[in-house]
Copies of this chain bind each other. A is one copy, B any other.
Amino acid sequence: MCEANVFIKDKEAKEYELLLEAVDKVIPGDDEIILESIFGERKIVKAKIKEMMLLDHKINLERI
């Protein structure tokens, strides 16, 4: 399946940490992002998308 793992970091941080696994839906708002996993888990974070690497199943966010 083609879900992705979502990682997040503070602006100053160097390393990303796992925020939510197996994410299907990503819906960005003005200053927050809604994430929904294939298990129905939902998280809303104040962040912006830094990069998405779909073949690696990886989405990197940065907190704002």
- Copies of this subunit: 2
Q: Does A32 contact B (CB under 8 A)?
A: no
> B1, B51, B57: which contacts A26 (Cβ < 8 A)?
B51
Residues of chain B within 8 A of A48, CB atoms compared: 28
Q: Does A54 contact B (CB under 8 A)?
A: yes
Determine how close the nearest CB of chain B comes to the CB of A25; give it in whole angstroms.
Answer: 6
Most buried by B among A2, A27, A28: A2
Indicate if the CB atoms of A53 and B28 lie closer than 8 Å. no
Residues of chain B within 8 A of A38, CB atoms compared: 55
**Which A residues fall within an 8 A CB radius of B?**
1-4, 23-28, 38, 48-55, 57
